[in-house]
């Protein structure tokens, strides 16, 4: 990825990308330096952006969700519903349909995977609901 592509992914200017690369010691090292400038591996940049909560939340066109979340409080009207998130910070999109996961019962992985067309798991129960990585 070029700095321009990184800027688009993060929703910032190319100048801001250059600032980040110089200021943040956790930013990935370039994969190569070419005649057009430095280039990075997309997977490295996306991994860094997820850990920093910096992915541009523009829906599923630019950013693929990496976390599945199912609230589990039976008093919550959205309990058992599937949410796809860029990080544990907040939802990108809710998916229509119920995948269970109420109280301590684990969500239906096969149903969730069929709903989004990607692999999910394993589920982990935290205080506010179930979480799983999307692969």
Residue ranges of alpha helices (H) inside 11-134 are 14-23, 42-52, 109-116
pLDDT tens sequence across 16-58: 899 999 999 999 999 999 887 899 988 888 888 877 776 654 4
Residue 20's pLDDT is what? Answer: 92
> In the chain, what's the furthest Cα-to-Cα distance?
59
Residue 22's pLDDT is what? Answer: 92
Please tell me whether the overall predicted TM-score, pTM, comes out greater than 0.75 for this model: no
Burial of 79 (0-12, 13-18, 19+ CB in 10 A): middle
pLDDT at 90 over 50: yes
């Amino acid at each position: 990825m070029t700095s321009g592509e990184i800027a688009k992914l993060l929703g910032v200017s190319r100048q801001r990308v250059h600032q980040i690369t110089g200021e943040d010691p956790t930013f990935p090292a370039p994969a190569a330096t070419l005649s057009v400038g430095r280039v990075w591996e997309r997977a490295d940049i996306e991994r860094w952006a997820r850990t920093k909560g910096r992915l541009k939340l523009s829906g599923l066109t630019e950013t693929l969700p990496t976390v599945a979340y199912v609230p589990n409080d039976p008093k919550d009207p959205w309990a058992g519903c599937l949410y796809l998130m860029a990080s544990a910070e907040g939802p990108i999109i809710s998916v229509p349909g119920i995948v269970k996961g109420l109280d301590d019962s684990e969500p239906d992985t096969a149903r969730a995977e069929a709903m989004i067309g990607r692999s999910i798991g394993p589920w982990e129960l935290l205080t506010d609901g179930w979480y799983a990585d999307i692969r």
